[in-house]
Structure 1
Amino acid sequence: MAEDRISFIPRYHETPDQAAEYLRLTLPLLSKHRLPVNPVNYAIGYDYVAGNNRPLREAIDRLQQTHQPLTPELCIRFYKEYILDEAARRFEKVGDSLQHLVGNTLSEVEKTETQAGHSAATLEQQAALLQQQEPAQIAEVLQNVIQETRNLAAAGSELRSNLQATNREIHQLRAELEMMKEAAFTDALTGLLNRRAFDMKIQQLLANAPVGTSFLLLLDLDHFKKINDQYGHLTGDKVLRFTAEVIRKHLPPGQIAARYGGEEMAVLLQGFDRAQALRLAEQIRETLAKSRLKRRDNEETLGQVTLSIGIAGLEENDTVDSLIERADQALYEAKRQGRNRVIDDRGLIRRESS
């Protein structure tokens, strides 16, 4: 299926210069209405000045025409109504399409069943006639039988063709639903699972995973605020994306990685023993520590970028909170001991940085 059919997420095609111009126009708009520059308010302002969202623009224009302020409460309402609700409409559209396909399929089956019933009755009549007819008339009866058989075959062929077309559409819709589901559970910046998906996965872990072979890793970039302050948030975003890619590179198939929040990421491991979990964490930490990241615009090095990692193993009677708490304590101990290291919750085993 072509990618342009998957439009669950708003798409922006502006060049860097266009986006910069929209930024220049958005900030005064937010300032005029005394709105903080948070993601929701900025999305509203950006779509307004870019003209990408006509219903949103008309709603804000009506406010301005009546000299009403654009408040944070209205921004949240507009965000839900004109941005988030689009996703709901797309889900509803797909659901309607599936219902339509099912209805058409049932109609085709009923039509073929009717034709088959009619053909069966006709064939019975012709069979009865064969027993009554003289030899000279049998040829005519056989011709009727042959024609009725052809009619039945044609109905079956038409049904098969219609079902094949329906099956293609269902596969297409299923692929779109999968893409929409993936988008809903993916962090847009890093490509890892988002916090909502992580919360679902860790619940599943506690419900199904055996004790002793399941682990939670919390990974936090060291001195990330300094990177943002010194090089800017765009560079900080690139560091987050690179870190996510390092995690993906080392993560075996079937294991879970998510953006837990801000510069903190999480990994859920199943089917690992403790030594394997520690080794994987060390590989991730060491790969990032040995990388030398540079800014693309001027090739300026960012210096060493490092991770601190806390590990907790699933224990009997664990809850989500207790498992996260132990991993968080181990992470805190890694920070306390100097960062760029892995700490295990079992006795807070120290792993020196290389």
Structure 2
Amino acid sequence: MAALANFVKERASRDASASALDADEYALFAEVGRTRRVNAGQWLFRRGDAGDAMYVVSNGGVALDFGDDLVGKTLEPRAFFGELGLLIGDHLRSADAIVTENSELLELGHDEFEVLAKRDPQLLAQFLRRAIMRVVLNEQALIARLRHRNRELQGALDSLRSTTSLLDQTEALARTDELTGLTNRRGFALHLERCIAEGSLAGHVLILLDCDRFKMINDSYGHLAGDRVLQSMANLLRAVAGANDIACRLGGDEFCLLLRDPGREEAARITGYIVESARMLVRTHSQQPQMTTLSIGACMIDGNGGDGRWEHWYSRADKALYRAKRAGGDCIEWLD
């Protein structure tokens, strides 16, 4: 930013000298040019107008507006402008020019320029060098501004990407259970909303799971032991969940597994594997408990009963889970 500011300041200083006629040049232009008196507020030309003349400020002032948030200019006596309209055929004006106070201008067209060439070709060549120098300075300033703008845009894009990434992470955290890393109840609800909107719930299998006698573990071994059991449960569900399935901790020691189109036989195999794996973990760790046996309630979602409402299917799986718990746990109950 400081480099650009220094460049613009230096360029403004050079541009000021490049944009004004010296005393000899002004005297010659005043002899040849047509005097034009213009009132304050009058437009000399607008951006996009065809130009075939240049101007010199004799007294008063003119403001140039280049638009597109480019820096404008205020011209004082002896400043010249609009020369490209004279030097380049079919040139379109690149700025709006408005008189800021009652002013007197010199106007020079092609005829006047030919007279200048005959009167003092050396002085005219000096002016042309100055005019070309100003064009070069303007191009350099434009390139510097564009580079600075590109850096600003790149910085804004980097900031936007960083913010978007942070928002994605925040949103993911809001859908994730902190202890187990599984989807939480909110994330599960959002997943269900998408499935319901797509009409894709039919064929899923809903499985609710509870850790048997979990409160006893917390009371006997402490909450850290209880946390280890919940994490073991999460690892077990992650191991059986496919890419299109979703494993969720609904809260406390209640978990959920939603299988996408597995078929009854495959779903029964998966639930059986979960129960048997939990039993093995219970038998393996006799000191600090790493796992409990499980009560599981499951139902097929056929998309017809209960008018397709999710609460209907959750209620059925919950009833099956209650039956499993009443049977002493460590078992699977289905409600079809």
TM-score for the superposition, normalised by structure 2:
0.58
Cα distance in 1 for partners of 2:234, 2:145 equals 55
Mark the structure with the bigger radius of gyration: 2
With over 3 angstroms needed to count, the CA separation of the structure-2 counterparts of 1:286 and 1:124, relative to structure 1, is farther
Cα distance in 1 for partners of 2:276, 2:212 equals 13
Paired position in structure 2 for 1:263: 253
Cα distance in 2 for partners of 1:117, 1:342 equals 80
With over 3 angstroms needed to count, the CA separation of the structure-2 counterparts of 1:152 and 1:334, relative to structure 1, is same
Aligned pairs (5 A) from 1:264-279: 264-279=254-269
Shift of 1:166: 1.4
Query: Unaligned 5+ residue runs, structure 1?
Result: 1-110, 347-354
Q: Secondary structure at the match of 1:147?
A: helix
Q: 1:224 aligns with which of 208, 214, 217?
A: 214
Q: Which has the higher strand share?
A: 2
Letter in 2 for 1:186: T
Letter in 1 for 2:319: Q
Paired position in structure 2 for 1:165: 155
Contact kept? 1:218, 1:331, Cα under 8 Å? yes
Paired position in structure 2 for 1:68: none
With over 3 angstroms needed to count, the CA separation of the structure-2 counterparts of 1:170 and 1:151, relative to structure 1, is same
Letter in 1 for 2:154: Q
Q: Secondary structure at the match of 1:267?
A: strand
Cα distance in 2 for partners of 1:206, 1:325 equals 17
Q: 2:180 aligns with which of 172, 190, 200?
A: 190
Paired position in structure 1 for 2:8: none
Cα distance in 2 for partners of 1:261, 1:290 equals 24
Tell me whether 1:306 sits opposite 2:293 in the alignment.
Answer: yes
Q: 2:308 aligns with which of 318, 328, 337?
A: 318
Tell me whether 1:126 sits opposite 2:84 in the alignment.
Answer: yes
Contact kept? 1:218, 1:328, Cα under 8 Å? yes
Paired position in structure 2 for 1:241: 231
Contact kept? 1:294, 1:301, Cα under 8 Å? no
Cα distance in 2 for partners of 1:123, 1:273 equals 82
With over 3 angstroms needed to count, the CA separation of the structure-2 counterparts of 1:129 and 1:169, relative to structure 1, is same
Aligned pairs (5 A) from 1:48-87: none
Paired position in structure 1 for 2:143: 153
Q: Secondary structure at the match of 2:179?
A: coil
Cα distance in 2 for partners of 1:319, 1:123 equals 75
Letter in 1 for 2:296: I
Letter in 2 for 1:175: S
Letter in 1 for 2:86: A
- Identity percentage of aligned residues: 30
Cα distance in 2 for partners of 1:123, 1:294 equals 92
Cα distance in 1 for partners of 2:194, 2:88 equals 68
Cα distance in 2 for partners of 1:201, 1:267 equals 12
Cα distance in 2 for partners of 1:164, 1:245 equals 42
With over 3 angstroms needed to count, the CA separation of the structure-2 counterparts of 1:236 and 1:143, relative to structure 1, is same
Letter in 2 for 1:308: S
Cα distance in 2 for partners of 1:243, 1:332 equals 19
Cα distance in 1 for partners of 2:83, 2:206 equals 74
- Name the Cα RMSD after superposition: 3.4
Tell me whether 1:114 sits opposite 2:69 in the alignment.
Answer: yes
Contact kept? 1:214, 1:270, Cα under 8 Å? yes
CA deviation digits over 1:99-118, x for unaligned, max 9?
xxxxxxxxxxxx99222999
Paired position in structure 2 for 1:89: none
Contact kept? 1:116, 1:152, Cα under 8 Å? no
Cα distance in 1 for partners of 2:81, 2:70 equals 12
Shift of 1:164: 1.0
With over 3 angstroms needed to count, the CA separation of the structure-2 counterparts of 1:266 and 1:126, relative to structure 1, is same
With over 3 angstroms needed to count, the CA separation of the structure-2 counterparts of 1:284 and 1:157, relative to structure 1, is farther
Contact kept? 1:293, 1:301, Cα under 8 Å? no
Q: Secondary structure at the match of 1:339?
A: coil
With over 3 angstroms needed to count, the CA separation of the structure-2 counterparts of 1:243 and 1:286, relative to structure 1, is same
- Length, aligned pairs only: 230
Shift of 1:264: 0.8
With over 3 angstroms needed to count, the CA separation of the structure-2 counterparts of 1:186 and 1:197, relative to structure 1, is same
Q: Secondary structure at the match of 1:115?
A: coil
Cα distance in 1 for partners of 2:210, 2:148 equals 60
With over 3 angstroms needed to count, the CA separation of the structure-2 counterparts of 1:303 and 1:256, relative to structure 1, is closer
With over 3 angstroms needed to count, the CA separation of the structure-2 counterparts of 1:126 and 1:304, relative to structure 1, is closer
Cα distance in 2 for partners of 1:151, 1:338 equals 83
Tell me whether 1:215 sits opposite 2:208 in the alignment.
Answer: no
Paired position in structure 1 for 2:9: none
Cα distance in 1 for partners of 2:331, 2:164 equals 44
Shift of 1:247: 1.1
Shift of 1:254: 4.5
